[in-house]
Amino acid sequence: MSIGRTHWAIPEGFIPGESLAGAERPLISHEAACILNAGAAVAHVAITLYFVHRDPVGPYRLKVPAERTLHLRFNELADPEPVPRDTDYASLIVSDVPIVVQHSRLDSRSAQFALVSTMAFGA
Amino acid sequence: MSIGRTHWAIPEGFIPGESLAGAERPLISHEAACILNAGAAVAHVAITLYFVHRDPVGPYRLKVPAERTLHLRFNELADPEPVPRDTDYASLIVSDVPIVVQHSRLDSRSAQFALVSTMAFGA
Amino acid sequence: MSIGRTHWAIPEGFIPGESLAGAERPLISHEAACILNAGAAVAHVAITLYFVHRDPVGPYRLKVPAERTLHLRFNELADPEPVPRDTDYASLIVSDVPIVVQHSRLDSRSAQFALVSTMAFGA
Amino acid sequence: MSIGRTHWAIPEGFIPGESLAGAERPLISHEAACILNAGAAVAHVAITLYFVHRDPVGPYRLKVPAERTLHLRFNELADPEPVPRDTDYASLIVSDVPIVVQHSRLDSRSAQFALVSTMAFGA
């Protein structure tokens, strides 16, 4: 069943450069775009990153198979370049078929981690 | 009074496998879909879960009576199968009458728990 | 300038019965509906609460003056009756002029408090 | 690529007056409006603040260049006047071109900070 939008924006991007000492993957500070493709066709997704003082970077390209979810960590984007830490950015996510995008962050700079989550803006 | 949509998506699903030692029900790590049926007819709801590497699971079926709320814990879904812990998933919630769905999680892996809450995507 | 909707829903209502020992008002566990009336006319607002196992309660009536905000704490609603603690509920907020409603909770059951905030569902 | 709305509301404004002793800028309690201007033209933005017991204050004026993001801290607004601490307020953000606005707060009154983030209401 197809649900969603083809354009999604996340204005508040920020990956903390620090994490709890010794944290394993689930508790390392990270930022994610959780994507649901509930439709019958693969989604071809292009992500562009926007910054305060320099030109946009991208597109980062990825696929989400039909009837699958992908919890993409911005920390792990590498091509065309990694996402800088401790830096304000924003992202625009464009798909060729409808998807739904939710933004989340786990911040473990503190000894106790903090979480945020919100639906991205879809258009 | 009827308010809402019939299709709701929550891309970011994740139930932490751990909780505070000795936590009682209110503070066990959990994920919830809080449903409001403000209308005059019972809502028949079907939930489908989407994963990263395997086919969708569902439907999970439940009813929300007229003029009632249900704060459904994904942890407690059992039929057709329990929701795996420490696993990325997403959910699609379909109702035969308009409802409103809000997503929340309490994560008590840390000695101090963390909370998130956001409106689901309605269509 | 008028902005918003006249009907807003918050499915996830829950006021923790406990707070930090000795907490003063800002850090007592509470749940709020933050209302913005940016228009030129007073907003007459009616709130109805929905529960899991009993009939709705309300309306709770209040006014938000023109060009003012009100950060309403559900903890402080009294007429027709107080909101029960440690109990799942939901709310429907109806206004005669457009308003914007944001939902937030401060949970200080833990020695370190947790916060959530999300825009309500507007229709 | 142009995406967004020209009017955005954030009903829940509150800047905690306290922070962790010795906190540096990233961990000082603050509230932000994260703005994405993904379009080809500069955005001229006007912010008005609404209060509980007094008239609105503003406009605060700023620009977001084409294809840039700005993570505006309300703490740092100064003209026509600073934003009062420990005071309920709301904000209305108007742009001459489409933008996307996300609201976030870092609250470090506690020894462990708390985070919230939600998309603003766009119209």
> How far apart are the CA of D92 and the nearest CA of chain C, in angstroms?
8
Of the CA atoms within 13 Å of residue A63, those in its CB half-sphere come to 4
* Chain B residues within 8 A of C122 when measuring between CB atoms: none
Q: Does C56 touch chain B (CB under 8 A)?
A: yes
- Residue predicted with more confidence, D60 or A117: D60
Model confidence band, residue C111 (pLDDT cutoffs 50, 70, 90): low
Q: Is the confidence at residue D54, as pLDDT, over 80?
A: yes
Q: Do D104 and A86 touch (CB under 8 A)?
A: no
- Considering B69-73, B111-115, C19-23, the range whose residues carry the highest mean pLDDT is B69-73
Q: Does C122 touch chain D (CB under 8 A)?
A: yes
Please answer whether residues C93 and C77 qualify as being in contact, where contact means their C-beta atoms are separated by less than 8 angstroms.
no
Of the CA atoms within 13 Å of residue D38, those in its CB half-sphere come to 24
Query: B104, B118, A108: which is closest to C88 by C-alpha?
Result: B104
Whole-number pLDDT of residue B19: 78
Model confidence band, residue D112 (pLDDT cutoffs 50, 70, 90): low
Mean pLDDT of chain C: 92
Q: Does D10 touch chain C (CB under 8 A)?
A: yes
- Which residue in the block uniquely carries the two structure tokens 């892996």? B109
- First and final C-alpha spacing in chain B: 19
pLDDT digits (tens, 9 = 90+) for B74-100: 999 999 999 999 999 999 999 999 999
Q: Is the confidence at residue D22, as pLDDT, over 90?
A: no
Nearest CB to C36 within list D9, D86, D111:
D9
Q: Is the confidence at residue B23, as pLDDT, over 90?
A: no
A5 forms beta bridges with: A99
Q: Is the confidence at residue C22, as pLDDT, over 80?
A: no
Query: B106, D10, C103, D107: which is closest to A11 by C-alpha?
Result: D10
* Chain B residues within 8 A of C94 when measuring between CB atoms: 1
Q: What's the mean pLDDT in D36-47?
A: 98
Model confidence band, residue A111 (pLDDT cutoffs 50, 70, 90): low
Mean pLDDT of chain A: 92
Q: Do A9 and D32 touch (CB under 8 A)?
A: no
Please answer whether residues D56 and D50 qualify as being in contact, where contact means their C-beta atoms are separated by less than 8 angstroms.
yes
Whole-number pLDDT of residue A72: 96
pLDDT digits (tens, 9 = 90+) for A37-62: 999 999 999 999 999 999 999 999 99
